[in-house]
Amino acid sequence: MLQFTRDRTQEIIRDPRFRNLASARAKLRWSLSIVTLIMFFGFIALISTAKSALGVAVAGSSIPLGLLLAMSMCVVVVMLTGFYVYRSNSRFDELASLLNREFRQ
């Protein structure tokens, strides 16, 4: 039984479909995480370097640039999570459950 499970693990790990799934997921996961972190900490960096520029009103309105950026970041965060969920639902779930069914036996 134990040997069986160990072999089964190695068999799954070597399966090309599993490898594709895992690496595509990892790519999506880490790239989106990095985008999110760069966006937020970049904004903090922007605040400490170009503080006064963020207080200037955007041309044609009286909404300051910094506030507009912060508000758009709220929307972007939802879009990033939405994109991840959409991608996972459409691309990964089917393959993951297929592999799950196949190797469960």
Partner 1 sequence: MRVLLAVLFIAFPFAAFAQAASAAAGRGTDWIAIGMFMAIVLTTLVITYRSAGSTKSRADFYTAGHAITPLQNGLAIAGDFLSAAAFLGISALVYANGFDGFLYALGFLTGWPIVLFLMSERLRNLGSYTFADAAAFRLERTPIRLVAAIGSLVVVLFYLVAQMIGAGKVIELLFGVNYLIAVSSVGILMILYVTVGGMQATTWVQITKAALLLCGGTLLGFVVLRRFDFSFAKLFAAASSIHPKGEAILAPGGLFAEPVSAISLGLALVFGTCGLPHILMRFFTVKDAADARKSVFYATSCVAYFSLVIPILGFGAVPILMSDSSYFRVDASGQFNKITDLIGGPNMASIHLAHAVGGPVLLGFISAVAFATILAVVAGLTLAGCSAIGHDIYGQVIAKGRGSDAREVWVSKVAAVCIGIVAVLLAYSFENQNVAFMAGLALSVAASCNFPVLAMAIFWRGTTTRGAVTGALAGLFSSVILVVFSKTVWVAVFGFKSALFPYENPALFSMPLAFLCIWLFSVTDRSARAARERRAFDAQFVQSEIGITLAAEGRVMAEATS
Binding to partner 1, residues 19-48 (CB under 8 A): 21-22, 25, 28-30, 32-33, 36-37, 39-41, 43-45, 47-48
**77 binding partner 1? (CB under 8 A):** yes
Instruction: Please count the CA atoms within 13 angstroms of the CA of 7 that sit on its side-chain side.
Output: 4
- Distant-in-sequence, close-in-space partners of 99: CB < 8 Å, separation ≥ 6: 12, 15, 17, 18, 21
Q: Among 16, 52, 59, 90, which residue sits at the site for partner 1 (rule: CB under 8 A)?
A: 52
Least distance (Å) between residue 30 CB and partner 1: 8
Least distance (Å) between residue 16 CB and partner 1: 14
Tokens of 66: 């910094």
Q: How many residues bind partner 1 (CB under 8 A)?
A: 59
Least distance (Å) between residue 75 CB and partner 1: 7
Tokens of 61: 């309105």
Count of CB atoms within 10 A of residue 66's CB?
A: 19
